[in-house]
């Protein structure tokens, strides 16, 4: 007699969304035991710690209809196929939101089949209402003061808001044309300043937002400008990565006076030096996300002395005698 049909549903779950819940509920219909595998994924710079994400997933499935399937939540940081073997899984559950997901998932499925042909990958299409939801967009909408109640459970929404304080929201928590992102709590916790965040955005290929106006220590972002979805997603990726870099400074992984944010922006000249003495790599300096390898904007100059030029008369032109 064959044993239970065990499936593994892996993900970062940073945070768990209604889209994840949809896949979990449907995966329970085709397995007798489902192991929800929460990846540490430190390289992604997760907003929530691994313990927080495991706790959130457990809280979310506590009230779900699992259709008689046993559900277990576990963290993992090893090869996914090895983890599947550890828990005795024969199915690897993957959710598909749109056609754009398929190419990547197809490659992953082929690679996993090469590593262990006994484990089958099963694709589950997200339901129509959940197809557009991603953890990345949920975090950014929350950071910009948008309403995320239809994307995640109320408990997750409350946790997310605590990470991204936004000033001057309306009665319903929303913002209008401009939103004021309060960087002061981040500065207090890590020492990373609003200037550091703004200058680091240049390394990611963005124009630095308005700094310290109308409130000192904040960034003013205009999320309603006419950027396409791909550019918005790129901005989300940059802000999440910068938050992770700041947290690393706060944990002492980088010195407060020598880190990717304090030294930003990085020019081509600055990384072409013979000896690199910083505690982070050249690659991390100029290619903090992989997409920049092909689309890198190289800033022509590094950071200047902040408001010195506004407060002092500086002339770079030749002396009057040169025109005599």
44, 74, 161, 303: which one is catalytic? Answer: 44
Residue with tokens 């196929």: 81
20, 53, 94, 262: which one is catalytic? Answer: 20
33, 135, 200, 262: which one is catalytic? Answer: 135
Can you tell me the distance from the alpha carbon of 20 to that of 135, in angstroms, rounded to the nearest whole number?
9
Active site residue 97: yes
Active site residue 135: yes
Contact 18, 153 (CB under 8 A): yes
97, 136, 161, 303: which one is catalytic? Answer: 97
The residue among 51, 106, 110 whose CA lies nearest residue 77 is 51
To the nearest 10°, report the CA torsion of 250, 253, 255, 258: -110
Active site residue 90: no
Question: Residues with catalytic annotation?
Answer: 20, 44, 97, 135
């Amino acid at each position: 007699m064959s044993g239970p049909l065990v499936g593994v549903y892996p993900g970062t779950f940073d945070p768990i969304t209604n889209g994840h819940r949809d896949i979990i509920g449907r995966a329970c219909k085709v397995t007798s035991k489902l192991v929800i595998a929460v990846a540490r994924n430190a390289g992604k710079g997760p907003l929530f710690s691994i313990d927080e994400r495991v706790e959130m997933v457990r809280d979310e499935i506590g009230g779900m209809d699992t259709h008689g399937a046993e559900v277990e939540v576990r963290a993992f940081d090893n090869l996914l196929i090895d983890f599947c073997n550890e828990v005795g899984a024969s199915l690897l559950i993957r959710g598909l939101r749109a056609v754009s997901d398929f190419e990547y998932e197809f490659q992953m499925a082929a690679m996993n089949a090469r590593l262990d042909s006994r484990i089958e990958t099963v694709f589950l299409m997200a339901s129509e209402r959940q197809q557009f939801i991603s953890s990345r967009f949920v975090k950014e909408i929350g950071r910009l003061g948008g309403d995320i109640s239809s994307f995640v459970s109320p408990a997750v929404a409350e946790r997310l808001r605590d990470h991204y304080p936004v000033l001057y929201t309306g009665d319903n928590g929303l913002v209008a044309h401009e939103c004021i992102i309060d960087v002061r709590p981040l500065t207090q916790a890590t020492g990373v300043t609003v200037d550091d965040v703004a200058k680091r955005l240049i390394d990611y290929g963005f124009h630095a937002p308005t700094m310290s106006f109308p409130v000192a220590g904040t960034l003013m972002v205009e999320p309603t400008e006419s950027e396409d979805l791909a550019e918005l997603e790129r901005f989300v990726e940059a802000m999440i990565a910068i938050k992770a870099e700041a947290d690393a400074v706060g944990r002492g992984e980088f010195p407060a006076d020598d880190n990717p944010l304090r030294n930003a922006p990085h020019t081509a000249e600055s990384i072409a030096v013979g000896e690199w003495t910083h505690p982070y790599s050249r690659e991390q300096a100029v290619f903090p996300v992989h997409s920049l390898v092909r689309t890198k904007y190289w800033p022509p100059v590094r950071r200047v002395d902040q408001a010195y030029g506004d407060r002092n008369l500086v002339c770079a032109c030749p002396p009057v005698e040169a025109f005599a």
